[in-house]
């Protein structure tokens, strides 16, 4: 029997003291949300060939009218692939990929409120063919992108850095190559950064096993230590689970990860054994002052769980993205080509 079964009775009970506001924001697909250090929430999503952006300055109670950040002909914003967003004091950067596999960048100058198209992140066209990509910003204001790249043969992890708010990007380089020639072909990767630390979580493919690994740079993305396997278990699978999990940074700067193996969502600190949380898939993670907040999908219903083990069902749909602002957890997701938002007041 899986170790989480005895916990389901209290993990999946609605929390009477948590206030939940669930609403449709607008039409769109594959939304992603990011909280900056001031608590502003930056939201991006796709609609047709257009990349949209909206911001909330009141912990997700309302978002501004979505505006056009840029246009990407043949934009990919489906099947768990979509635009990514990150921000510092000066810039908001959005990255988005087209069906050919070129990764594009758009930059908002927060002082002038003007969007500009940057140079492509990928310095070779059509190499990010799977469309899975991540974005993060370090303490020096540099933006770091990573993606699945085929220019060196089968899927490798590649990366680039921008020091001018996403207008230009460094020469691309390979960050990780599996000894078995490819990483997991259809699982998204996740990024988190703070100070000089950059973390990239991805699903590997070694000896037929589809396990999660973590890359870490302690010098602002200049060099990366060898990839570290997450957890002690393994998942031998002759298929791609299309489920990559999330890495986030805790208050002490240490990484915390969530991911799925078979039908179970696990929480894991690097170097430690994984802890089963619940049944589900498409899990994600954010960190509040009180500790981690998780969101996941189970049989078409999305759940949010706060530090105390309390869980609420926030709506129907797929592929949640999660951010924390103050005492609110804001979950965004797609349902029937609509962007939905739920704001959960966290209880201590």
Query: What pLDDT score does 306 carry?
Result: 84
**Tens digits of pLDDT across the chain (348 residues):** 333 333 333 233 333 334 566 899 999 999 999 999 999 999 999 999 999 999 999 999 999 999 999 999 999 999 899 999 999 999 999 999 999 999 999 999 999 999 999 999 999 999 999 999 999 999 999 999 999 999 999 999 999 999 999 999 999 999 999 999 999 999 999 999 999 999 999 999 999 999 999 999 999 999 999 999 999 999 999 999 999 999 999 999 999 999 999 999 999 999 999 999 999 999 999 999 989 999 999 999 999 998 776 799 999 999 999 999 999 999 999 999 999 999 998 876
The answer to whether the beta carbons of residues 132 and 81 sit under 8 Å apart is yes
Neighbours of 303 (CB within 10 A): 23
Q: What is the CA radius of gyration of the chain?
A: 18
Query: What pLDDT score does 14 carry?
Result: 34
* Helix boundaries (H) for the chain: 8-11
The answer to whether the beta carbons of residues 335 and 301 sit under 8 Å apart is no
CA–CA dist 338, 221 (Å, integer): 36
CA pseudo-torsion sign 336, 188, 250, 303: positive
The answer to whether the beta carbons of residues 258 and 245 sit under 8 Å apart is yes
229: three-class secondary structure by DSSP: strand
Query: What pLDDT score does 346 carry?
Result: 87
The answer to whether the beta carbons of residues 74 and 99 sit under 8 Å apart is yes
Query: What pLDDT score does 348 carry?
Result: 63
319 DSSP 8-state letter: E
Spell out the residues 6+ positions from residue 158 whose beta carbon is closer than 8 angstroms to its own. Answer: 122, 127, 128, 146, 147, 148, 149, 151, 172, 173, 174, 175
State the pTM of this model: 0.94
Q: Which element (helix H / strand E) includes 29?
A: strand 29-35
């Amino acid at each position: 029997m899986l170790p989480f079964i005895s916990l389901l009775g209290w993990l999946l009970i609605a929390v009477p003291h948590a206030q939940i506001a669930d609403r449709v924001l607008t039409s769109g697909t594959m939304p992603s949300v990011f909280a900056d250090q001031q608590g502003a929430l930056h939201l991006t999503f796709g609609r047709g060939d257009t990349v949209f952006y909206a911001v909330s300055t009141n912990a997700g109670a309302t978002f501004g009218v979505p505006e056009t950040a840029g246009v990407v002909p043949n934009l990919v914003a489906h099947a768990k692939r979509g635009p990514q967003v990150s921000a510092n004091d000066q810039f908001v950067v959005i990255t988005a990929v087209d069906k050919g596999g070129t990764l594009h960048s758009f930059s908002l100058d927060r002082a002038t409120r003007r969007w500009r198209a940057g140079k492509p992140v990928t310095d070779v066209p059509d190499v990010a063919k799977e469309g899975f990509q991540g974005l993060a910003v370090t303490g020096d204001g540099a933006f770091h992108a990573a993606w699945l790249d085929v220019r060196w043969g089968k899927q490798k992890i590649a990366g680039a850095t921008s020091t001018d708010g996403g207008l230009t990007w460094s020469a691309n380089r390979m960050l990780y190559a599996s000894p078995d020639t490819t990483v997991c072909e259809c699982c998204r990767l996740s990024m988190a950064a703070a100070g000089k630390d950059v973390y990239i979580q991805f699903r590997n493919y070694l000896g037929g096993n589809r396990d999660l690994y973590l890359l870490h740079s302690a010098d602002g993305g200049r060099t990366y230590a060898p990839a570290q396997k997450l957890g002690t278990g393994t998942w031998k699978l002759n298929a791609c689970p299309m489920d990559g999990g999330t890495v986030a940074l805790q208050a002490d700067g240490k990484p915390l990860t969530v991911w799925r193996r078979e039908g179970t969502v696990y929480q894991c600190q690097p170097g430690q054994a994984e802890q089963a949380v619940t049944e589900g898939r498409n899990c994600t993670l954010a960190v509040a002052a009180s500790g981690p907040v998780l969101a996941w999908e189970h049989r078409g219903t999305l759940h949010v769980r706060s530090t105390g083990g309390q869980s609420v069902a926030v709506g129907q749909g797929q592929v949640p993205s999660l951010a924390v602002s103050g005492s609110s957890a804001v979950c965004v997701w797609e349902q029937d080509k609509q962007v939905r938002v739920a704001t959960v007041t966290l209880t201590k």
